[in-house]
Structure 1
Amino acid sequence: MSKPGGETAELGYEQARDRLVEVVRELEAGGLSLEQSLALWEKGEQLAKVCEHHLEGARERIEAALSSVEEETSNGQ
C-alpha cells in the first residue's frame, strides 16, 4: 500500500483515528452545506487511508516477527 500524501500523512495512527472520529461526528450532526459535507468526507477518506497505512505497517511487522519465531522454533528442533 502506498503512503498517503497531504498534510494528514504526517499524523500518527492515534492522531489520524481521533481526527477521523471528529469528522464522522461532524458529518453525523448534520447542518452542513453540501460543499462542507463533501470537504469533510474527503478529509475523512484521507484520514482513513493514513490509518490503513499504519495498520498495514503494524500487520507486516507482526507477520515478520511471527515468521522469525517460527523459523527459530523449526531450526531449534
Structure 2
Amino acid sequence: MAEGQDDVADLSFEAALKRLEEIVRKLESGEAPLDEAIDLYTEGDRLKRQCEARLAAAQARIEQIQFGPGGAPSGTAPFGGD
C-alpha cells in the first residue's frame, strides 16, 4: 500500500508519524516480503521527509515570535521575514 507524494502531503503530522511507526514495526518484524519491504521503505522515506519538513516549519514559526521588554511575547514577525 504505497502512497503517492500527494497522499503523504495531505496527511496531518500525527497521521504521518503514526503510519511511519506502523511501517517501522512491520519492517523490523521481518514479516514483509522483499518487494513489499522495498515499497514500505520508500513510503517511509516520504513520510519521514514530510514529518521533518512540518517540524522545521513549526520551529521557524516559533522562532518568529517577537519578545518585548521583560521577555514577554509581544507579537510575531512574518514567517520567512527579515
TM range, smaller chain:
0.7 to 0.9
Which AA in structure 2 matches 1:73? P
Runs of 4+ in 1 over 4 A off after TM superposition: none
| Richer in helix (by share) | 1
Q: Where do 5+ consecutive residues of structure 2 fail to align? A: 71-82
Q: State TM-score, norm by structure 1.
A: 0.78
- Structure with bigger RCO (C-alpha 8 Å, 6+ apart): 1
Q: Where do 5+ consecutive residues of structure 1 fail to align? A: none
| Richer in strand (by share) | 2
Count of matched residue pairs: 66
**Structure 2: how far apart are the matches of 1:45 and 1:27?**
13
Aligned partner of 1:34 in structure 2 is: 34
Aligned partner of 2:59 in structure 1 is: 59
Deviation, 1:54, is 0.9
Which AA in structure 2 matches 1:19? R
**Structure 2: how far apart are the matches of 1:16 and 1:31?**
21
